Structures are given as structure tokens and as C-alpha cells.
């Protein structure tokens, strides 16, 4: 049968498809984890192969490395059900590439699916997230542009395609277009937390922090629901509040919404540490908040996440450096070096980006500021390869500035501060960095 977007499904049960579509909506909105809903669909419809594939794609769209057995089990069950159509086989091929560490191969496998089925939003979601995880801004935008002529507002989930497009445009610095598309997506589905997030990015990159606070506070009921992207959206609100030095409010938000639980996944854990690190760079006392962050990274690394994916390694390194946990840093570096010996995408990332970044953060933690600055500066042109957004990777720029200032490297501090203030001439944070940089001379 066909789904509501005219994409083929190899299972003939309209009730199952309706339940599948409800979980797919959750996936696109990034509000709630859609996996429990899809698992209950599987209980009622054990021969629904696409539901199995969906669960594998949900995991594959995140950054964690330790769930490869779960992904492989789900796609094996789908293959055992049999009678898969070409589209479903293509999705499985992409998941297999992701499982093997060949994330670029996963992107290409999704390209092939979308070229034939341009309204396959499960494939589009998976591809968009792989593009994000690889810092591939051109594909974040281009992947959506390649399918957009096949879409109009009569197709279900059109708004979610616009939400993805807004983020891709933003990462390509096409801010005005991104804001218009993102706001249209938010109006079409007020519960789409990804689209709200895309607009939040635009406002952040344009240095309009007062607009950002108004955007997030005025629409809290739209983006702060669920266990999906809400933590990350709170993190974005805190970035605007950093501009205003409203540290009490930031710490209040941190404690209420961002502080990691003992079972935190790498993404929210990275948000937590990235915020604490930014506060530390500004000299804010964050008390003992690092400890829960570091404890959880330590567990995740013991479970196989260490050295797996560079963006997470950066955040684990920041946590251990802040806590002065030298043995953990050395262990993380060793794991990143081991990953760098692999020939797949993740090995390349580790070689080119993760290892020098971990070494740079280690040097910063040891107050070897010139070493830290040299290491991070050398890797800066290729930093995007380890994923994340422009806004997230700014933590490395802030670390470089801090290293130059604290290391007494006045000319280099002023040079970096010039770059920041030229881009954000009205940004209070940029001005504060500039004042500190000039005070070094």
C-alpha cells in the first residue's frame, strides 16, 4: 500500500499505518521519543517490517555508538519478515552503513532512496540528521532542495520539511530566508520543536539576543514539551541569556531542565557541559555541577562511547578537563587515537579533528594555554567535520579566546576578538571578550 505521501509500504493494514504515522509525527516534531509508540505498533503488528526499520532509523539518527546491536537486530527482524520493497531495502542499506561506521556511505544510501522516493520523510529525517552529525552544511540545505519540488502543502508533513530546510539554510548562513521558512513551519505546526529550534539558531547567529529571548519565552508551550529537543532548546535560550550576563537565570534553567540524569544520552550531556564550559570561561562559579556531567561521561565511555564520535569526545574532554580528571582525559585520548586507525568515516573524523581537539582541551585544562591555542587553531578550518551546529562549535572559538587571554597572548587574543566583534558588532559577549583581549596587551 501507499502511505499518505504516496510512498510504498510493504504491509497491508491501514490501522497499523495510522499508528505508524502518529509515531512518525513525533519523530518529525522532535518533541517525544517516538520509539515506545512504534514498539507498541510492533507488538500489535509483528510482521510490519517498516516499523522495525523505523526503530533502527531512530537510533541511527543519533550519535551514540553503543546501540549498534539494537539497530542490527531491528533490521534483521525486518529482513526476516521479508517481502521488503525497494525503498525499505534502501533504508536498511543506509542503517547498515551507519552501523559499520561508514556514515558518509549512509548519506549516499539515503540520497539513492530520496532520488526515487522524494516524499519519504523517514529517509529525509535520517539523511538530515546524518548531515548534521557530519557538520555537512551543504547537504543540510541541499538534501531538502533536491526533494522540495516534489512537495506542496497538500502533502502531510510538508511543514516538517520546511523546518528541516530552515535549519539547512541557517547552517549555510542564509539567515533571512531561513527565518522566513522556519517561522512558516512553526505556524503550520506549532508543536514542531525542530522548526522552533531552527529559528532560534538564526536569531543566535545574527546576534539578536533580545529577539531570541522573546522568541523562546513567548512560545515556551510550543517547544518545551516532551523529552526530545526541549533540553537543547533550553540550552539555546541560555545562550541569549549569556549575552545579558543573566547568570542566576541560566543556573536556574540549568538546574530545572538541563542538569543531566544518570541515564543521560550524549546529546543532552553535551548541552549540559557546553553550557557549564561557557559559564566557566566567563568566570562564573558553577559549584559542583560538573560532577554529575563527568560521572555520566565516564560511564558512557566505559560503555563504548569514548573515541567513537568526535563531537561527543570534545564534550567529554571539556568535562574531564574542568574536573581535573587527568586519567580520564588520557584514556579518552587513547580511545580517540584508536578510532583514528579505522578507515571508515568516524576514523577519518577522529584522525583529522577529534584527536587534536581532545589534546587541545587537555592542554587548556592543564593551563598550557599556548599549546591549547595552537592545537585548536590548527584544527579550526576542519572543525565542522565532527558535526554539531555553528552555534555549538562556537564553544571551541570561545575556548581559543580564553586560552589567548589567560595565556597572556595579547595579539592573538585581540585578533580572535576582532573576528567575533566584526561578526556580532552589537553582541555584549563579543564586547566583553574584546575588552578582556585588549586588557592583555
Q: Smallest gap, in angstroms, from Cβ of residue 194 to Fe ion? A: 10
Contact 246, 271 (CB under 8 A): no
Site string for Fe ion, 384-423 (x = CB under 5 A): -----x----------------------------------
Q: Smallest gap, in angstroms, from Cβ of residue 239 to Fe ion? A: 9
Helix/strand/coil for 2: strand
CB nearer to Fe ion: give 236 or 296.
236
CB nearer to Fe ion: give 293 or 389.
389
Q: Smallest gap, in angstroms, from Cβ of residue 389 to Fe ion? A: 5
Pick the stretch among 41-49, 99-107, 271-279, 383-391 that binds Fe ion (CB under 5 A). 383-391
| The three cell numbers locating residue 16 | 497499523
Strand ranges for 350-391 from DSSP E: none
Pick the stretch among 40-48, 153-161, 295-303, 382-390 that binds Fe ion (CB under 5 A). 382-390
Contact 277, 399 (CB under 8 A): yes
Q: Smallest gap, in angstroms, from Cβ of residue 198 to Fe ion? A: 8
CB nearer to Fe ion: give 202 or 279.
202
Among 35, 44, 36, 57, residue whose Cα is nearest residue 17: 44
Helix or strand holding residue 29 (H, E): helix 14-29
CB nearer to Fe ion: give 279 or 336.
279
CB nearer to Fe ion: give 78 or 140.
140
What's the chain's length in residues? 441
Q: Smallest gap, in angstroms, from Cβ of residue 235 to Fe ion? A: 7
Q: Find the helix packing angle between 14-29 and 35-44, rounded to 10°.
A: 170
Residue nearest to Fe ion (CB): 389
The residue count for binding Fe ion (CB under 5 A) is 1
Measured CA to CA in angstroms, residue 420 lies from 138, 206, 426 at distances of 23, 12, 10
Among 348, 281, 353, residue whose Cα is nearest residue 321: 281
CB nearer to Fe ion: give 54 or 277.
277
Measured CA to CA in angstroms, residue 28 lies from 162, 169, 245, 260, 355 at distances of 11, 18, 34, 24, 33
Site string for Fe ion, 131-170 (x = CB under 5 A): ----------------------------------------
Which position has the grid cell 569526545?
A: 313
Q: Smallest gap, in angstroms, from Cβ of residue 309 to Fe ion? A: 17
- Binding site residues, Fe ion, CB under 5 A: 389
Amino acid at each position: 500500500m501507499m502511505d499518505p505521501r504516496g510512498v510504498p509500504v510493504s504491509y497491508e493494514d491501514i490501522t497499523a499505518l495510522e499508528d505508524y504515522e502518529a509515531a512518525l509525527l513525533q519523530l518529525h516534531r522532535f518533541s517525544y521519543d517516538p520509539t515506545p509508540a512504534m514498539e507498541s505498533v510492533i507488538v500489535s503488528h509483528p510482521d510490519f517490517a517498516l516499523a522495525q526499520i523505523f526503530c533502527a532509523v531512530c537510533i541511527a539518527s543519533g550519535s551514540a555508538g553503543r546501540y549498534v546491536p539494537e539497530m542490527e537486530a531491528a533490521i534483521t527482524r525486518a529482513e526476516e519478515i521479508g517481502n521488503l520493497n525497494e525503498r525499505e531495502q534502501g533504508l536498511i542499506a543506509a542503517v547498515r552503513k551507519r552501523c559499520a561506521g561508514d556514515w558518509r556511505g549512509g548519506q549516499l544510501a539515503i540520497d539513492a532512496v530520496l532520488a526515487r522516493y522524494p516524499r519519504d520523510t523517514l529517509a529525509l529525517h535520517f539523511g538530515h540528521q546524518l548531515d548534521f552529525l557530519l557538520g555537512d552544511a551543504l547537504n543540510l540545505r541541499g538534501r531538502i532542495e533536491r526533494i522540495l519540488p516534489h512537495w506542496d502543502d497538500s502533502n502531510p508533513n510538508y511543514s516538517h520539511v520546511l523546518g528541516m530546510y530552515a535549519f539547512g539554510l541557517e547552517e549555510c548562513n542564509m539567515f533571512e530566508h531561513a527565518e522566513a521558512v522556519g517561522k512558516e513551519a512553526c505556524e503550520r505546526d506549532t508543536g514542531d520543536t525542530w522548526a522552533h529550534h531552527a529559528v532560534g539558531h538564526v536569531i543566535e547567529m545574527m546576534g539578536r539576543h533580545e529577539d531570541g529571548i522573546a522568541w523562546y519565552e513567548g512560545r515556551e508551550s510550543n517547544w518545551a514539551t516532551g523529552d526530545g529537543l526541549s533540553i537543547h532548546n533550553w540550552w539555546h535560550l541560555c545562550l541569549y541569556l549569556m549575552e545579558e550576563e543573566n547568570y542566576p537565570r541560566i543556573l536556574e534553567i540549568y538546574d530545572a531542565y538541563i542538569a543531566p540524569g544518570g541515564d543521560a544520552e550524549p546529546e543532552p550531556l553535551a548541552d549540559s557541559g557546553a553550557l557549564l564550559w561557557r559559564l566557566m570561561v566567563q568566570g562564573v562559579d558553577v559549584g559542583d555541577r560538573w560532577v554529575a556531567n563527568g560521572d555520566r561521561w565516564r560511564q558512557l565511555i566505559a560503555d563504548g562511547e569514548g573515541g567513537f564520535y568526535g563531537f561527543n569526545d570534545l564534550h567529554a574532554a571539556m568535562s574531564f578537563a574542568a574536573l581535573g580528571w587527568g586519567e580520564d582525559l588520557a584514556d579518552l585520548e587513547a580511545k580517540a587515537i584508536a578510532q583514528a586507525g579505522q578507515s571508515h568515516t568516524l576514523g577519518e573524523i577522529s584522525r583529522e579533528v577529534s584527536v587534536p581537539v581532545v589534546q587541545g582541551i587537555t592542554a587548556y585544562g592543564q593551563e598550557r594555554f599556548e599549546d591549547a591555542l595552537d592545537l585548536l587553531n590548527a584544527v579550526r578550518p576542519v572543525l565542522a567535520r565532527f558535526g554539531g551546529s555553528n552555534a555549538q562549535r562556537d564553544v571551541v572559538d570561545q575556548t581559543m579566546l580564553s586560552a589567548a587571554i589567560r595565556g597572556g597572548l595579547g595579539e592573538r587574543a585581540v585578533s580572535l576578538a576582532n573576528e567575533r566583534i566584526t561578526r556580532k558588532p552589537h553582541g555584549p559577549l563579543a564586547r566583553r571578550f574584546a575588552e578582556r583581549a585588549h586588557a592583555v596587551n
